Amino acid sequence: MRQFSIVLGALGLLAGFVIAISVLSGDSQGRVNLLYLLLLFVFLPVGSLLLSGVFLARKSSRGLAGWLLELPLWPTRVRQEALALVPGVERKYWLFYQTQLASLAFAVGGLIAFLLLLVGTDISFVWRSTLLQATDLLPLLQVLAIPWAFWGDAQPSLALLQQSQDFRLATPELTAAQLGQWWKYAFAAQVTYMVLPRAAMALLARSVYLSRQNVAEVTKSRKVVHVDSLNAVPMQGQLAPLVTKNRLNYLLIDWGSVPMVLAEALFDRIGKPGDVMRAGPLSKVDPGKFQRSESTAIIVAVKAWEPPMGELQDYLHSLPIEKNTEKLLLPLDWDNGGLRPVKDSDLQEWRRFCGTLGNWSVLTPGTSSGDSP
């Protein structure tokens, strides 16, 4: 998870830096529209903070980090560590914490770009508007400047607004140094509305996540005895049946991210599917996919060595499957040499899992190591 946080933070820092550079570079004469800076440094950060609150209030929300985690770019170990979190609350707050870190990195990247341009370039801040006049804009700027009222040089004035309006019509004596006075206001706005709120939100998100994680650890420790009892081989009636052949037209749901090089060997054993769906812990069910399918069986391929997760159980329960459809779960094990026999202990665990689902069977088309039903 640390690797994911580092990469996500680096992406946020780079994005903030590039976007700030593009906005602050201005036009061909280096003139930067002050209204654009208000949009970038004030209104967008405040809006995104409100949006973060909405995401946090929702029962199930992935946020920015959740969407990025879905991209097939992350190493398998990173995704597995994220999925090892307790489903629901713990993962939700972890994703929220990662989103705040990425947003804070974005704000810091924008601040770094702003400071570098102040040192290395001559920025002229101007503003243009068809509808607004200096007297219309001044009250808004004054309200936004209330948090840094102690910094007199960073307060807006009507005279400065009038001087910097429509730079194209400015008189020659209006120098870039005079127009550059807006940098203090822009810097204060960026720190006040962009950097500090995100830093506070990131600290809050971290605190909430750690507290939720502690609760989850206590819950896990209380369930140790219960988990040990599940690991013991139960009565035969609690095990899902084994199926060794499939002669039906089926829809294959690839939950285990089976490598494509194994597809031919797999299809030799169970036949070619009518259709293939990719799925995972963050996947949503598409009812239309099942309505259009003419398959009479559903086969869900999973990694045999991974323990059954709550997300898989929720996903299987949410599938819009007709009653007469055969439902099979296919544990697979492989290495660089191809498919290999599934361990008896892994097969037993998947049979227990399917036994809790109802009407699900375990498909073992010659891939088990000798276990019998």
Per the DSSP assignment, residues forming a β-bridge with 254 are 278, 301
Mean pLDDT, to the nearest integer, of 164-174?
55
pLDDT digits (tens, 9 = 90+) for 190-231: 999 999 999 998 898 888 888 876 665 555 444 444 434 444
Quote the tokens at residue 246.
């499939």
Q: How many CB atoms lie within 10 A of CB 290?
A: 18
Question: Which pLDDT does position 139 carry in this prediction?
Answer: 93
d(CA 242, CA 362): 5
Mean pLDDT, to the nearest integer, of 86-100?
70
CA 129 to chain centroid = 38
d(CA 166, CA 172): 13
Convert the chain into a string of H (helix), E (strand) and C (coil). CHHHHHHHHHHHHHHHHHHHHHHHCCCCCCEEEHHHHHHHHHHHHHHHHHHHHHHHHCCCCCHHHHHHHCCCCCCHHHHHHHHCCCCCHHHHHHHHHHHHHHHHHHHHHHHHHHHHHHHHCCCEEEECCCCCCHHHHHHHHHHHCHHHCCCHHHCCCHHHHHHHECHHHCCCCCCHHHHCCHHHHHHHHHHHHHHHHHHHHHHHHHHHHHHHHHHHHHHHHHCHHHHHHHHCCCCHHHCCCEECCCCCCEEEEECCCCCHHHHHHHHHHHCCCCEEEECCCCCCCCHHHHHHCCCCEEEEEEECCCCCCHHHHHHHHHCCCCCCCEEEEEEEEEECCEEECECHHHHHHHHHHHHCCCCCEEECCCCECCCCC
Of 366, 369, 328, 326, whose CA–CA distance to 347 is shortest? Answer: 369
What domains lie within the chain, and their CATH numbers? 2-218 (no CATH), 237-363 (3.40.50)
Residue 122 identity (one-letter amino acid)? D
Does pLDDT of 154 surpass 60?
yes
- Whether this model's pTM surpasses 0.75: no
Does pLDDT of 95 surpass 70?
yes
Phi, psi of 163 (to 5 degrees): -70, -35
Please indicate whether residue 107 or residue 121 has the higher confidence score (pLDDT): 107
Does pLDDT of 162 surpass 50?
yes
Does pLDDT of 111 surpass 50?
yes
Render the burial of 238-264: b for 16+ CB within 10 Å, e for the rest: ebbebbeebebebbbbbbbebeeeeee
Residues sharing a CB contact under 8 Å with residue 105, sequence separation 6 or more, in sequence order: 8, 9, 10, 11, 12, 13, 16
Of 338, 354, 163, whose CA–CA distance to 268 is shortest? Answer: 338
Which CA distances in Å does 214 have to 57, 171, 282?
Answer: 21, 65, 24
pLDDT digits (tens, 9 = 90+) for 56-78: 666 555 555 555 555 555 555 55
Quote the tokens at residue 125.
């801040």
Quote the tokens at residue 114.
């702003």
Question: Which pLDDT does position 200 carry in this prediction?
Answer: 92
d(CA 96, CA 90): 10
